[in-house]
Structure 1
Amino acid sequence: MSRSRRRLTALALTTAVLGSLLTSQAAATRPAPRITRAGLDPALVAGRGAEVPFVEQEAENAYFTGEKIGPGREAYTLPAEASGRTAVRLQAKQYVEFTLTKPANALTLRYSIPDAPGGGGITAPLEVSVNGKSKRTMTLTSQYAWLYGMYPFSNDPNVDPIPGWWKPEPDPVAKPFRPNHFYDEQRVLLDRTYRAGDHVRFAVPRNSSAAWYVLDVADFELVKAPLRQPARSLDVRLFGADPSGRHDAAPAIERTIAAAKRIGWSVFIPAGTYQVNRHIVVDKVTIRGAGNWWTIIKGKVLPLAQPAPDKSVHSAPGFYGKYADAGGSTQVHLADFALESDVRERIDTDQVNGIGGAIGGGSTIENLYLHHTKVGIWLDGPMDGLLIRNNVITDAIADGMNLHLGVSNVRATDNFVRNSGDDGLAMWSESNPSGLVNHNNVYDHNTVQTPVLANNIAIYGGRDNAVTDNLVADPIREGSTLHAGSRFNATPFEGTLTFARNTTVRGGPRDLNWDIGLGAIWLYALQSTMAGTIEITDSSFLDSTYNAMMFVVDWPVKDDYGITNVAVRNIKVDGTGTNVVNARVGGWATFENVDARNVGAPFVNNCGTFHFEGPPEFDVRLLAGNDGGWTGATWCEDRPAVVPPPPPSPWS
């Protein structure tokens, strides 16, 4: 062998050895892919929440070159609003790379980028590649994020506090004042199906209009081919609907509905993007798309020449049943399409929801993707009999779903709600002259994450309603994971309100206005005594920021209203920053088979109605089976020190 060949051989061997070492080091530092649910090992939340077609991966568990932010739970911060209270911050040329755990051809990315200096948002590119190839550029936006100030909030970062409203912040307040609603999400169909083990990278370009990016979570999905047109259905394209999105498709869809009703057929909206900028009224009709990744109803929020009878000052895309005073709608079936709206500010008089009106009488709403609406689904009764299932509602600027005013026999199941600007799922039995009451409704097997304001699931009055088998996580402020309250002019609680087999994760945040910690489940008597039976059973409260359970009355009415007839049993509490039970009200509750560990303060904090004379006004009745940390329930501390618990773990 010649000397030159020996040198080349030695060089090749050295290069191979170095390459092998570098590959080994990269493999050693690259974390194994982790599927999570609500930021936790799925085994810890098994059997709870929605069955979804995607797998969740948190950015902080992936391979990244940026900076991990969090964990943090204080409102108005990026970590607090992130799934799992942790995310990854990137700057130019930095990236997050996920490893697929299952075949996927689509993804949803939850992210945040800065607002424009004067509000209103910016856009910025983000490069996406798979295995270093198949590169494409996403255009991220903050135009649907970044609200400021007090309710109902503003897009202006220089907004002042509302004069006369109580606030804990000293004057002059720092600007921007109470920034919130930082995150948005975007769905992407990839060019083909990729295998488990393939690497999906999100990289910040060298030159970007955004000073930083925060990536929170990615959901990876294997999307099926578009659904075929059903038999005995009319295609909206035959009536002039434009699938390119360039022309208004609403009149053509309405013509198709009218024709289909005349002959007793259904309506089919094939794959495409259809421009709709107003409500389409539905009654006794079935409307199906080709799948919510393929059929997109997309439109803008437009000003009305004059206010509508329902007090709206804008129009927006939506499917609405007839209002109850017009007879309501029955036998409506909506399925398999997406609705992409354009709501960027909260105007409570506007009917700019995805699904609205009164829809009952054996109707179904299923397999929809509702995005950038004011409320995903807001139904005004009286109405009876509806199934709402397998829907995804994200980035709503107000509630994810609300059943309002005399709604009965509605079941909402297997729905996924993330980043609502108010309650994720609510039942609001508002008082009315006709005496209508929300009753016999069920929220079961839903997943609700990161409501920016208020609660994951909230029940306001009503009779014999149930909240079961749900997974609820990461409430930010002025609410918690599970809530029942005599508030907002609600009817009294009657019959039995059931909270059963739910799992709360990182609930019980600090209430900014009261400056106290809430409970992962909290009951609130504000406008009347809560005397109906409330059962809280067979549930798990994991990693509560303050309390697992809270019973409270507002100070001005502390001697007028109470909470009674509450039964708590078969509960596991794994981690509280303070107490298991915090009672700041008169009344009573029973506790049976409550096991708790990693509790930061004495199990029961019983301040009753703050008279401090004799036994506390709230009677903590300890029955059999509670673990050894429970004592006589006479300790009271207004604001106990928080001891952050360790992460939840399997219960042996």
Structure 2
Amino acid sequence: MMRIARARWVAVVAAATCLGVAPAPIAGAAPAPVVTRAALDPALVAGRGADVPFLEQEAEHARTTGAVIGPDRTAYTLPSEASGRRAVRLLPGQHVEFTLPAAANAITVRYSIPDAETGGGITAPLEVTVNGRHRRTMTLTSQYSWLYNQYPFTNDPGADLLHPDWWITECQCVPAQTSPAPVVPKPFRPHHFYDEQRLLLDRAHRAGDVVRLTAPRGTDAAWTVIDLLDSELVTPPRVSLIAANVLLFGADPTGRRDSADAFDRAIAFARRHRLEVYVPPGTFQVNRHVVVDDVTIQGAGSWHTIVKGRQVTLPAPLPDGSVHTGVGFYGKPAAEGGSRNVHLRGFAIEGDVRERVDTDQVNGIGGALSDSSVDGLYIHRTKVGLWLDGPMSGLSVTNNVIVDQVADALNFHSGVTDSVVRGNFVRNTGDDGLAMWSQHAQNARNRFERNTVQSPVLANGVALYGGTDNAVEGNLIADPVREGSGIQLGSRFGALPFTGHVRITGNTTVRAGTFELNWRIGLGAIWFYALERDLDAEVRVVGNHFLDNTYNAIMLVSEWSVKDLHSITNVHFADTRVDGTGTSVVSARAAGWATFEGVTARNTGAVPVNNCGSFGFPASGSEFSLTDLGGNGDWLAPWLLPNTITCDDRPQVVPPPPPSAW
């Protein structure tokens, strides 16, 4: 372990960013538990997001001797990356107590501790007791958090700019073109502060029992931030007797020996004899890809069966540019025909990815998987939870927990069709939570349904880049931090054009709409971005709730350099509720048109419609038209005809009140 002095360097940096610290007094009996979903009253998001087996409790609602930090939505601060934008900071000797709302034998703690002075992280203990007894110790680590600098980031807090030839907002300059060179503070842009750790308790504890988390005196962590606690009642291990048990093929459940070859032998045997592969309780070390095709791999449950690997540096780069490998289950590449009839169920994948190398194939699930399913996995600390390269079709991704990723949780990349992503829980991604990226071939007829995406540190909760006839329905998306928002439809990253239709239906976003550093404006909870081509496919945005929007609820924009080239048309909003905007309900910064029917709004911070069009400001009115189809209340009508220009480039932000029942 690093000594306390080595942790205090980053502790001072982070403490300076933890604005709004307030004491949280402790007195009397344990308070009644406050159960939330995405830090909201569950009644506000009923029927939306994933149905999960755990109950979420935010630390700021618990009893503590520490201090509440936040709220703060400013990037590069500890509160901004916390669920609900608040958390509790413990100094050594302080604690926070959670009252169990239901019987539980397992907990998950989302936390942050300081980085080491030179990067690479430290470890520190966290004491766990139930009713003052049943003492356990969790080992927390910052080895998988604390990134710095410009994309694709670094683990070195003392690094100079990775791209001195890029524009940066801190000096409003391109440093390499500035003489004398500007002084850029170090560490530069610290982020990705949080990690989470799971713990099976000694037994099932009752509702009303008190779980205390204590940062012990003498810990190497100058502070410990607790964001939340998830508690659940884990079922006993699943047993499969008629299967190819990996133990029979030499797998080591203690994790001391590498079991990758044993998995290969079990898979080969199972395919020959038409059996499933069974992975019993234990921790199995696997330090490379396990290639899967026409096979079912069944674990005992994601709390019981853990497949864990180290990131391994390759002796030479592979043809795809990978310089590392690590644990992952991969279908064959699409160029080799891909894999089919693969079913992965009921186990955890624990990766060892500590940096972002975009060419690396160090994802939890990869390759091409047609007519396949991924269900009930826990995917932790890989680069991307599931990165699927098409063409492929017929994949079902359901009921997984995907957390603490360096990049996306899931990306359908090029030619993924007729597939569904349903009931998954995503938290703390380093890029888009769920994405469809039609880079080389169209993604078509896919559905993202009833997923929960919380706290993407970079980019969006859900993002569609091109595609045909895709749908985003019933999702719950909360707390994007920087350079993205709740939902984005973007013509960017070389994506093929949107064609056919897009359905954005019945979703809820909360505390979405980040500050775009380069544009120096706030984004929308849902935003349409015409960067590389027009957006003109039929888009229907129906039945969505945009709650507690940091800036705008709806944004339609083309980048300044292409403002006269691309437009956004054929967008239809209906049956939508907007509860709270820091600025406007709609911000239009492009040419085009949209219709509105049954869109109601309250608690707006600025003019309801900020209509700049494409900044030509013609006498005839804005180049963007909003059509009132009725039922919109009184927020829209005054700003319609003749395409009224109400352009305020940077309106004052008025924080809205917390969302409430409509």
TM-score, normalising length: structure 2? 0.93
Output the amino acid matched with 1:169. Answer: E
Which residue of 404, 417, 420 maps to 2:429?
Answer: 420
Aligned to 2:632: 626
For the 8 Å contact 2:502–2:540, the answer to whether it is kept is yes
Aligned to 1:11: none
Closer, same or farther: CA 364–77 of 1 in aligned 2, 3 Å:
same
Which residue of 632, 637, 641 maps to 2:652?
Answer: 641
Deviation at 1:26, TM superposition (A): 7.1
Closer, same or farther: CA 597–341 of 1 in aligned 2, 3 Å:
same
Aligned to 1:299: 309
Question: Secondary structure in 2 aligned to 1:73?
Answer: coil
Matched, 1:452 2:457: yes
Deviation at 1:29, TM superposition (A): 6.7
Pairing 1:158-237 to 2, within 5 Å after superposition? 158-161=158-161, 162-170=163-171, 171-231=182-242, 233-237=243-247
Aligned to 1:617: 623
Matched, 1:499 2:504: yes
Write out per-residue CA displacement over residues 420-454 of structure 1, whole angstroms, 9 at most, x where no aligned residue: 00000000000x3xxx3110000000000000000
Task: Give the Cα–Cα distance (whole angstroms) in 2 for the partners of residues 309 and 417 of structure 1.
Answer: 31
Question: Secondary structure in 2 aligned to 1:524?
Answer: strand
Aligned to 2:8: none
Q: Structure 2: where are the runs of 5+ without partners? A: 1-24, 172-181
Aligned to 2:485: 480
Matched, 1:152 2:152: yes
Task: Give the Cα–Cα distance (whole angstroms) in 2 for the partners of residues 243 and 592 of structure 1.
Answer: 58
Task: Give the Cα–Cα distance (whole angstroms) in 1 for the partners of residues 74 and 27 of structure 2.
Answer: 35
- Report % sequence identity: 60
Question: Secondary structure in 1 aligned to 2:265?
Answer: helix
Deviation at 1:319, TM superposition (A): 0.2
Deviation at 1:143, TM superposition (A): 0.2
Aligned to 2:12: none
Pairing 1:274-285 to 2, within 5 Å after superposition? 274-285=284-295
Task: Give the Cα–Cα distance (whole angstroms) in 1 for the partners of residues 207 and 565 of structure 2.
Answer: 60
Aligned to 1:526: 531
Task: Give the Cα–Cα distance (whole angstroms) in 2 for the partners of residues 175 and 237 of structure 1.
Answer: 50
Write out per-residue CA displacement over residues 71-127 of structure 1, whole angstroms, 9 at most, x where no aligned residue: 000000000000000000010111000000100000000000000010000001111
Task: Give the Cα–Cα distance (whole angstroms) in 2 for the partners of residues 113 and 438 of structure 1.
Answer: 40
Task: Give the Cα–Cα distance (whole angstroms) in 2 for the partners of residues 125 and 569 of structure 1.
Answer: 51
Deviation at 1:27, TM superposition (A): 6.6
Aligned to 2:10: none
Question: Secondary structure in 2 aligned to 1:422?
Answer: coil
Question: Secondary structure in 2 aligned to 1:44?
Answer: helix
Pairing 1:597-608 to 2, within 5 Å after superposition? 597-608=602-613
Task: Give the Cα–Cα distance (whole angstroms) in 1 for the partners of residues 294 and 166 of structure 2.
Answer: 47
Write out per-residue CA displacement over residues 198-240 of structure 1, whole angstroms, 9 at most, x where no aligned residue: 0000001111111101000110010000001153x11011111
Task: Give the Cα–Cα distance (whole angstroms) in 2 for the partners of residues 92 and 251 of structure 1.
Answer: 45
Aligned to 1:554: 559
User: Which has the larger displacement, 309-318 or 444-453?
Assistant: 309-318
Aligned to 1:116: 116
Question: Secondary structure in 1 aligned to 2:631?
Answer: coil
Pairing 1:77-156 to 2, within 5 Å after superposition? 77-156=77-156
For the 8 Å contact 2:26–2:65, the answer to whether it is kept is no
Matched, 1:35 2:25: no
Aligned to 1:22: none
Matched, 1:272 2:282: yes
Task: Give the Cα–Cα distance (whole angstroms) in 2 for the partners of residues 247 and 37 of structure 1.
Answer: 40
Deviation at 1:649, TM superposition (A): 0.4
Task: Give the Cα–Cα distance (whole angstroms) in 1 for the partners of residues 269 and 126 of structure 2.
Answer: 45
Task: Give the Cα–Cα distance (whole angstroms) in 2 for the partners of residues 246 and 450 of structure 1.
Answer: 34
For the 8 Å contact 2:26–2:64, the answer to whether it is kept is no
Pairing 1:234-633 to 2, within 5 Å after superposition? 234-360=244-370, 362-430=371-439, 432=440, 436-614=441-619, 615-630=621-636, 631-633=638-640
- RMSD of aligned residue pairs (Cα, Å): 1.0
Question: Secondary structure in 2 aligned to 1:84?
Answer: helix
Output the amino acid matched with 1:200. Answer: V
For the 8 Å contact 2:514–2:523, the answer to whether it is kept is yes
Write out per-residue CA displacement over residues 173-201 of structure 1, whole angstroms, 9 at most, x where no aligned residue: 22110000000000000000000000000
Question: Secondary structure in 2 aligned to 1:464?
Answer: strand
Output the amino acid matched with 2:32. Answer: A
Task: Give the Cα–Cα distance (whole angstroms) in 2 for the partners of residues 313 and 509 of structure 1.
Answer: 33
Question: Secondary structure in 2 aligned to 1:527?
Answer: coil
Aligned to 1:21: none
Closer, same or farther: CA 393–58 of 1 in aligned 2, 3 Å:
same
Deviation at 1:344, TM superposition (A): 0.1
Task: Give the Cα–Cα distance (whole angstroms) in 2 for the partners of residues 270 and 640 of structure 1.
Answer: 58
Deviation at 1:593, TM superposition (A): 0.6
Task: Give the Cα–Cα distance (whole angstroms) in 2 for the partners of residues 277 and 157 of structure 1.
Answer: 28
User: Which has the larger displacement, 156-165 or 458-467?
Assistant: 156-165
Deviation at 1:149, TM superposition (A): 0.5
Task: Give the Cα–Cα distance (whole angstroms) in 2 for the partners of residues 609 and 587 of structure 1.
Answer: 9
Deviation at 1:28, TM superposition (A): 4.8
Deviation at 1:160, TM superposition (A): 2.3
Output the amino acid matched with 1:109. Answer: V
Task: Give the Cα–Cα distance (whole angstroms) in 2 for the partners of residues 243 and 519 of structure 1.
Answer: 48
Question: Secondary structure in 2 aligned to 1:136?
Answer: strand
For the 8 Å contact 2:409–2:433, the answer to whether it is kept is yes
Deviation at 1:629, TM superposition (A): 2.0
Output the amino acid matched with 2:127. Answer: E
Question: Secondary structure in 2 aligned to 1:495?
Answer: strand
Deviation at 1:255, TM superposition (A): 0.3
Closer, same or farther: CA 542–238 of 1 in aligned 2, 3 Å:
same
Task: Give the Cα–Cα distance (whole angstroms) in 2 for the partners of residues 201 and 605 of structure 1.
Answer: 48
Closer, same or farther: CA 26–641 of 1 in aligned 2, 3 Å:
closer
Aligned to 1:15: none
Deviation at 1:611, TM superposition (A): 1.0
Task: Give the Cα–Cα distance (whole angstroms) in 2 for the partners of residues 26 and 114 of structure 1.
Answer: 25
Question: Secondary structure in 2 aligned to 1:258?
Answer: helix
Output the amino acid matched with 1:462. Answer: G
Task: Give the Cα–Cα distance (whole angstroms) in 1 for the partners of residues 514 and 250 of structure 2.
Answer: 51
TM-score, normalising length: structure 1? 0.94
Task: Give the Cα–Cα distance (whole angstroms) in 1 for the partners of residues 31 and 654 of structure 2.
Answer: 30
Write out per-residue CA displacement over residues 481-522 of structure 1, whole angstroms, 9 at most, x where no aligned residue: 100000000010001111000000000111112110000000
Deviation at 1:622, TM superposition (A): 1.5
Task: Give the Cα–Cα distance (whole angstroms) in 1 for the partners of residues 185 and 648 of structure 2.
Answer: 31
Question: Secondary structure in 2 aligned to 1:261?
Answer: helix
Output the amino acid matched with 2:215. Answer: V
Deviation at 1:632, TM superposition (A): 1.9
